[in-house]
Structure 1
Amino acid sequence: MKDLDLDVLIIGAGPIGIACALECKKRNLNYLVLEKGALTNSLFNYPLNMTFFSTSEKLEIDNIPFISNNPKPTRNEALEYYRRVTTSNALNINLYETVIDVNKTPTGFKVQSDKAEYNTKKIIIATGFYDIPNLLNVEGEDLPKVFHYYKEAHPFTLQDIVVVGASNSSVDAALEIYRKGGNVTMIVRGDAIGERVKYWVKPDILNRIEEGSIKAYFNSEIKEIKPSEIIVNTPKGEKTITNDYVIALTGYRPNFKFLEKAGIAFSTDGKSIPNYDSKTMESNVKGLYLAGVICGGKETHKWFIENSRVHAKMIANHIEQTI
């Protein structure tokens, strides 16, 4: 076990964690980024053919140009961009190293990972929200036929597939699987396809549903998942649907347990928004900062790369003034 002294320890090597590292480097701060998975791990786990809603310039960090083939970049283009930003700037990042514990000390923090122990004056948590899915909490959800992440359509060709949800990820999965030969049924808790679905995709899914190519049950929820079927509560009563796989894309949430263990307080209005100063991004724990989408708590649609890039400079400026 090594014991290292740092000015700043950044937890999470997504786009915002990388932006924080760039700002720390520019200020000659002794920093290190720890990431439990691959570089930009959440983006890596996005569907292979995903296209961003944002244009490439809105995904840029530190004014480093992001050139894509089309106005809206793909997952692979984003991975290439953030990888090149990281390597060309020789950022200090340890991948596949998981933070286990964060403890306050008189001089800062002691951070324990699965590989080392660190003493640091400041901490930036930029861990996103993609690692913990919102569960259906129904019998059979633990069957191997149930997935909470979607990568590509090929394994579902010629299969009876249920896609749960009506967000961008659900709609993209339903359309792609349908076009690769899967028999797709959507189970939607609300009464319509999500309002935030990409504007160039929404007409497609609505037309496929209207013509019957993709079946959809609105105002409906899965009651039980069985090996070869599912039971659904619909407005017209309980319905049994033949099924090979369930892809439950019902959203994700931050690791609240980790944040609570670090001492972060949350709003009590049901949104679980963490306590932080909107001018400095410092949390209620002095010296511990929050950056990126985790600042929205359960409102994971509130912060994106494009509107949380500014967190990096705000945090670095405050750290430079107080270190």
Structure 2
Amino acid sequence: MRDLLIIGAGPSGLSAAVAAKRHGLDYQVVEQGVLVNSIYRFPPQIVFFTTPELLEVGGLPFVSPYDKPTRPEALRYYRKVVDTYDLQIAFDEKVLAVAREQHGPEESEEVFAIETETSRRVRRVRHARYVIIAIGYFDRPNLLGVPGEDLPHVSHYYGEPYPYYRRRVVVVGGANSAAEWALDLFRAGAHVTLVHRAAELDATIKYWVRPDIENRIREGSIAAHFNTCVSEIRPTSVSISYSRGAPPPLATAASPSLGLERRLSASGEGRETLEVPADAVFLLTGYRADTTLMREAGIVLTGREGPTYDRETFETNVPGLFVAGGAVAGVDTGTIFIENGRFHGERIVQVIADRMGSRT
């Protein structure tokens, strides 16, 4: 029987683990993937938007020669956190269910039973008095729900640009990821078309990325369609639709991808459809936390798919069950970052320690 079980070994979960150790709590972290799994899955060339000190957890300095750290630096730093504090983490262990059950002499104590499974199908049940759900949101992409989204040349995750040299690539989205990786693909020799449902690029794009992507679109190096939605993805093309009478901006002859676009027939009332050639498609439309575990554990979700929780303690409507980091965001993932989510675990553990009587 543990005092605390922490689900997720991202920055927020690590922060909670460090705090738990400092308070003398008997804790365990379980992680379905690898350490800081979301950061591990980032594109190799990513540069963080923030400065190193804002990524720190547990008071351990993040030393970097750069103003904005890179992915490899972040991976090394969080390994150092685990080694420095000798944190107890079980990797490759996915939590399937969190449920309340009676425990102890005459079943006098109510605790949590946490059912887990490894990739080798090994199942076990762990028990803890308190649970923190500190999962991220990078595992669940926002799906478009259009035909062809599951085709093999379509992905919700970007890796490296090199396989797409001289190939036609459609990037869907208008926030930072779409802008940054459209530029990356363009500079690696791909013929890029950007498709965005809004009238302009998102305001949250990194300040050094925005002028770059805007200039590439303006000069026609990257084709762009605004006020446009994807209606279907085919093996060799993407069908996009827009309001009839107000066609989206098209690329100039500087971009070969637009030279082969073909206008199709009208698609529904007030809409027209255009077919864009595509050898690869990246749907970079954002992500959200998987709420299945929270919902099945009894947590009431809001209309924004976020958990119901106390803003001071981060305790949900299920007593003893807390949420931290990306798990609190629901669809509003733009409100939670490493910079602010890293403090959730410390506050939660303080609440737990106060209830149990800190052993420090």
TM-score above 0.5: yes
Which residue of 1 is the match for residue 196 of structure 2?
A: 188
Equivalence for 1:16: 12
3-state SS, counterpart of residue 334 of structure 2:
coil
Structure 1, unaligned runs of 5 or more: none
Give the Å deviation of 1:273. 2.4
Deviation at 1:294, TM superposition (A): 1.7
Question: How do 1:50-199 residues align onto structure 2 when only pairs under 5 Å count?
Answer: 50-106=46-102, 107-114=110-117, 115-199=123-207
Aligned equivalent of 2:299: 264
Match of 1:301 in 2: 334
> How far did residue 210 of structure 1 move?
0.2
Partner of 1:249: 284
Aligned to 1:223: 231
The offset of 1:22, in angstroms, is 0.3
Query: Retained in 1: the 8 A contact 2:48–2:69?
Result: yes
Q: Conserved in 1, the CA contact under 8 Å of 2:239 and 2:274?
A: yes
Provide the secondary structure at the position in 1 that maps to 2:241. Answer: strand
Number of residue equivalences: 317
Structure 1 segments of 4 or more deviating over 2 A?
Answer: 234-237
Secondary structure of the residue aligned to 1:253 is coil
Question: In structure 1, what is the Cα distance between the partners aligned to 2:193 and 2:114?
Answer: 46
- Partners in 2 of 1:37 and 1:272 — Cα distance? 24
With normalisation by structure 1, the TM-score equals: 0.96
Shift of 1:279: 1.1
In 1, Cα distance between equivalents of 2:354 and 2:59: 23
Counterpart of 1:240?
275
Q: Is the 8 A contact 1:294 1:300 kept in 2?
A: no
1:315 maps to 2:348:
yes
Aligned ranges 1:26-41 → 2 under 5 Å: 26-41=22-37
- Shift of the alpha carbon at 1:245? 0.6
User: Of 199, 204, 219, which aligns to 1:211?
Assistant: 219
Cα deviation, residue 67, structure 1: 1.1
How far did residue 69 of structure 1 move? 2.0
Instruction: Provide the identity percentage.
Output: 41
Write the distance in 2 (CA, Å) between the matches of 1:248 and 1:205: 17
- Give yes or no for contact 1:161–1:182 (8 Å, CA) kept in 2: yes
Q: Which amino acid aligns with 2:340?
A: N
- Aligned Cα root-mean-square deviation (Å): 0.9
Partner Cα separation in structure 2 for residue 174 and residue 238 of structure 1: 23
1:152-208 residue CA offsets vs partner (Å, 9 max, x unmatched): 111111110000001111111100000000000000011111100000110000000
Amino acid at match of 2:83: T
Aligned residues of 2:289 and 2:329 also touching (Cα < 8 A)? no
Q: TM-score, normalised by structure 2?
A: 0.87
Structure 2 unpaired stretches of 5+: 103-109, 118-122, 248-271
Q: Which amino acid aligns with 1:252?
A: Y
Q: Secondary structure at the match of 1:174?
A: helix
Paired residue type of 2:124: A
1:266 partner amino acid: L
Residue 319 of structure 2 corresponds to 286
Query: Partner letter of residue 116 of structure 2?
Result: S
